[in-house]
């Protein structure tokens, strides 16, 4: 069935073309300023065509979110070979922040926007979130290794990982959502990195 194969291939190609165009627009102009019609214009199709490939806008966003998580996972692999767990956590945090700064729109999609999560919970059961799941598992693994090797004191690895995740997410989210206007412009980025350094100092001293 060569014809059916080609049809399927073309279908997934067009689907990916829509995703690519959408991501481009979102990154360039931000999520608030890009509509389904804009995306349709960019790929030179009718708006209704997009709905042949995606149930709705949220599903499109979820697909982009999953792609973004893959990209982040790839970038976070840079910390995979650091032996000391505390040092590895520190590197992870800085890599995470760096990702958030270099790709603010992707960060928003992955950790702030509601749309993709609505789609995730609609399509799968209440517990399935492929992208975020593996990202969090990465943190849990680092913490667990720290506990297993006796570097960290015994603890619930998942709540410790949550503490780490909340710390880095909190810093990035407060900054990207303009909540650091409480401090003078020139102090914002330095204070973030100092806060992160202090946090990992606490981890190294007392975890």
Q: Which residue has the tokens 């303009």?
A: 178
Instruction: Looking at residues 134 to 173 of the shown chain, list those that interact with a second copy (rule: CB under 8 A).
Output: 136-137, 155-156, 158-160, 162-163, 165-171, 173
Angstrom distance (rounded) from CA 123 to CA 132: 15
Q: Identify each DSSP E strand in 31-158 by its residue range.
A: none
Question: Does 109 participate in binding a second copy (rule CB under 8 A)?
Answer: no
Pick from 30, 47, 133, 170 the residue near DNA by CB under 7 A.
47
Beta carbon of residue 6, minimum distance to DNA (angstroms, whole number): 7
Cβ 62 to DNA shortest distance, Å: 12
Q: Helices (DSSP H) in the chain: which residue ranges?
A: 2-29, 36-42, 47-53, 57-76, 85-102, 104-111, 115-123, 130-148, 157-176, 185-206
Contact 90, 164 (CB under 8 A): no
Our finding on whether 178 is near a second copy (CB under 8 A) is yes
Instruction: Indicate whether 52 belongs to the interface with DNA (CB under 7 A).
Output: yes
Interacting residues with DNA (CB under 7 A): 1, 3-4, 6-7, 11, 14, 34-38, 44-49, 51-52, 56-58
């Amino acid at each position: 069935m060569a014809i059916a194969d080609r049809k399927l291939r073309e279908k997934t190609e067009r689907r990916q073309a829509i995703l690519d165009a959408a991501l481009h627009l979102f990154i360039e102009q931000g999520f608030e300023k890009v509509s389904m019609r804009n995306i349709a214009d960019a790929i030179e199709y009718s708006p209704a065509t997009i709905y042949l490939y995606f149930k709705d806008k949220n599903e499109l966003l979820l697909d982009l979110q999953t792609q973004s998580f893959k990209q982040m996972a790839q970038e976070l692999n840079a910390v995979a070979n650091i032996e000391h767990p505390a040092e590895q956590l520190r590197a992870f945090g800085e890599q995470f922040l760096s990702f958030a700064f270099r790709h603010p729109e992707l960060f928003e999609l992955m950790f702030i926007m509601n749309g993709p999560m609505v789609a995730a919970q609609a399509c799968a059961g209440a517990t399935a979130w492929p992208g975020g799941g593996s990202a969090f598992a990465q943190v849990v693994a680092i913490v667990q290794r720290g506990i297993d090797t006796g570097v960290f004191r015994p603890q619930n690895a998942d709540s410790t990982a949550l503490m780490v995740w909340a710390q880095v997410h909190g810093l990035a989210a407060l900054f990207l959502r303009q909540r650091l206007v409480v401090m003078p412009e020139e102090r914002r980025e330095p204070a973030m990195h100092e806060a992160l350094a202090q946090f990992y100092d606490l981890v190294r001293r007392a975890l």
